[in-house]
């Protein structure tokens, strides 16, 4: 039997069939799409594949020869978030700019509705040469099974970083600190924050930077309300801050999209920005100059992140040894809200 805990002993289709209690032909039909296979057999075969960490022979061949000429972009979000957030457009633009120089095509997988099961099976069956995974959450455990089967580069630090993981991150800690320090330089002393999701490294790191800057300046932590990187989430968080009666003279919002929602909520509450309250966002997406007033923000190089992730993945596919971790810088962009 294969060593279930390592990738040194490659499991065979016969071992999958034996563990699942089905014939070899049944396993082949499951790998071919699951037609004419009973639900019970389908479930047993997929369980055996996961337990044995089985990669079909055709996947091994394509990984060796790179004959698929396909790269998967896996986004564990729903379609509303993917198409509504300019961050993803910038990432895809960067990936496309690099792949356009090669014979590779990009396959997009928005993997939120099926807990990643369909996406995982597809990617583990030899249909792509490698994958880029962005916007992952703690609950997205299936991404580990993808990384066990094909070369992967993560956008941002993986939520469960393992030895040998490759990722391209933005310096979110420094960006959060820079945003807070800029508000302090503008005279703010009671700074609140609308944070990103606590199950994403970017959400955690931006709060960390905010708190480090306050501590360095000898200022107390302000109120922090969790957001979800959406405009509606930013508006709801701002309304909560106002309703709670918290005293603050500045607000750091962990994404431009949330900041636009917060600006609308503050305006509805009769709070003038920047007259009554200074606001800074994070991203420097097109939203920053589409907001009224124009948003002071922290620029993260999202397009460059997409380009760099692609460069790292293509280098891995060529058998090279690119940097395992790449961290890109951020900078404050001053406009009208702070």
On whether both 158 and 238 belong to a single domain, the answer is no
pLDDT at position 311 over 80: yes
On whether both 97 and 237 belong to a single domain, the answer is no
Q: Give me Rg for the CA atoms of the chain.
A: 23
Q: Is residue 2 part of a domain?
A: no
Is residue 46 within 8 Å of 121, Cβ to Cβ? yes
Domain count within the chain = 3
pLDDT single digits (tens) 214-268: 999 999 999 999 999 999 999 999 999 999 988 899 999 999 999 999 999 999 9
User: How far lies 308's CA from each of 19, 95, 245, in Å?
Assistant: 41, 8, 44
Is residue 150 within 8 Å of 130, Cβ to Cβ? yes
Q: Are strands 325-328 and 166-170 parallel, antiparallel or unpaired?
A: parallel
Compute the average pLDDT of residues 6-27. 78
pLDDT at position 40 over 90: no
Output the pLDDT for position 308.
Answer: 96
Closest CA to 133 of 115, 164, 111: 111
Lowest mean pLDDT among 156-170, 198-212, 271-285: 156-170
Q: Is residue 134 part of a domain?
A: yes
Output the pLDDT for position 32.
Answer: 59
On whether both 77 and 138 belong to a single domain, the answer is yes
Q: Is residue 336 part of a domain?
A: no
Instruction: Read off φ and ψ for residue 331, nearest 5 degrees.
Output: -155, 150
Categorize the per-residue pLDDT at 141 as very low, low, confident or very high, splitting at 50, 70 and 90: confident
Task: Enumerate the H helices of 152-255 as residue ranges.
Answer: 172-185, 201-216, 231-243
Residue showing tokens 């302000």:
222
On whether both 212 and 280 belong to a single domain, the answer is yes
Categorize the per-residue pLDDT at 30 as very low, low, confident or very high, splitting at 50, 70 and 90: confident
Residue showing tokens 């395992």:
324
| Cα–Cα distance for residue pair 300/150, rounded to 1 Å | 28
pLDDT single digits (tens) 48-96: 888 888 876 555 544 455 468 899 999 988 888 889 889 999 999 999 9
On whether both 20 and 120 belong to a single domain, the answer is no
On whether both 178 and 294 belong to a single domain, the answer is yes
Is residue 120 within 8 Å of 133, Cβ to Cβ? no
> Comparing 121 with 1, which gets the higher pLDDT?
121
Instruction: Read off φ and ψ for residue 53, nearest 5 degrees.
Output: 55, 45
CATH number of the domain at 113, please.
Answer: 3.40.50.2300
Q: Is residue 61 part of a domain?
A: no
| Cα–Cα distance for residue pair 261/238, rounded to 1 Å | 8
On whether both 283 and 310 belong to a single domain, the answer is no
Q: Is residue 338 part of a domain?
A: no
> Comparing 120 with 209, which gets the higher pLDDT?
209
- If 0-12 CB within 10 Å is exposed, 13-18 middle and 19+ buried, where does residue 50 land? middle
On whether both 140 and 239 belong to a single domain, the answer is no
On whether both 94 and 235 belong to a single domain, the answer is no
Q: Is residue 189 part of a domain?
A: yes
Q: Is residue 84 part of a domain?
A: yes
Output the pLDDT for position 6.
Answer: 39
| Cα–Cα distance for residue pair 229/242, rounded to 1 Å | 19
On whether both 167 and 307 belong to a single domain, the answer is yes
On whether both 50 and 103 belong to a single domain, the answer is no
pLDDT at position 168 over 90: yes
On whether both 197 and 291 belong to a single domain, the answer is yes
Summary mean pLDDT of the chain: 87
Residue showing tokens 């600006």:
263
Identify the domain containing residue 86 by its residue range.
67-171+303-329
Q: Is residue 150 part of a domain?
A: yes
Most confidently modeled range among 8-17, 31-40, 80-89: 80-89
Output the pLDDT for position 5.
Answer: 40
Compute the average pLDDT of residues 28-51. 78
């Amino acid at each position: 039997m294969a060593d279930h805990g390592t990738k040194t002993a490659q499991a065979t289709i016969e071992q999958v069939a034996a563990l699942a209690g089905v014939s070899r032909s049944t396993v082949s039909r499951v790998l071919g799409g699951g037609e004419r296979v009973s639900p019970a057999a389908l479930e047993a075969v997929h369980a055996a594949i996961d337990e044995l960490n089985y990669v079909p022979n055709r996947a091994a061949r394509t990984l060796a020869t790179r004959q698929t000429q396909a790269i998967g972009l896996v986004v564990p979000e729903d379609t509303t978030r993917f198409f509504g957030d300019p961050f993803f457009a910038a990432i895809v633009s960067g990936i496309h700019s690099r792949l356009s120089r090669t014979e590779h095509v990009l396959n997009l997988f928005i993997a939120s509705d099926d807990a990643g099961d369909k996406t995982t099976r597809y990617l583990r069956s030899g249909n792509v040469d490698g994958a880029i995974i962005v916007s992952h959450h703690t609950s997205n455990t299936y991404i580990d099974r993808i990384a066990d089967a094909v070369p992967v580069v993560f956008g941002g630090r993986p939520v469960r970083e393992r030895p040998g993981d490759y990722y391209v991150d933005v310096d979110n800690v420094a960006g959060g600190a820079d945003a807070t320090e800029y508000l302090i330089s503008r005279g703010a002393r009671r700074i609140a924050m609308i944070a990103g999701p606590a199950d994403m490294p970017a959400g955690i790191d931006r709060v960390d930077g905010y708190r480090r800057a306050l501590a360095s300046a000898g200022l107390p932590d302000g109120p922090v309300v969790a957001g979800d990187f959406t405009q509606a989430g930013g508006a709801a968080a701002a309304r909560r801050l106002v309703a709670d009666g918290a005293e603050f003279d500045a607000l750091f919002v962990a994404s431009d999209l949330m900041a636009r929602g917060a600006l609308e909520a503050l305006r509805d509450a009769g709070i003038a920005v920047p007259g009554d309250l200074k606001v800074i966002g994070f991203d420097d997406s097109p939203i920053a100059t589409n907001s009224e007033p124009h948003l002071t923000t922290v620029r993260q190089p999202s397009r460059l992140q997409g380009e760099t992730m692609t460069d790292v993945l293509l280098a891995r596919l060529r058998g090279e040894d690119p940097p395992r971790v790449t961290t890109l810088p951020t900078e404050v962009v001053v406009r009208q809200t702070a």
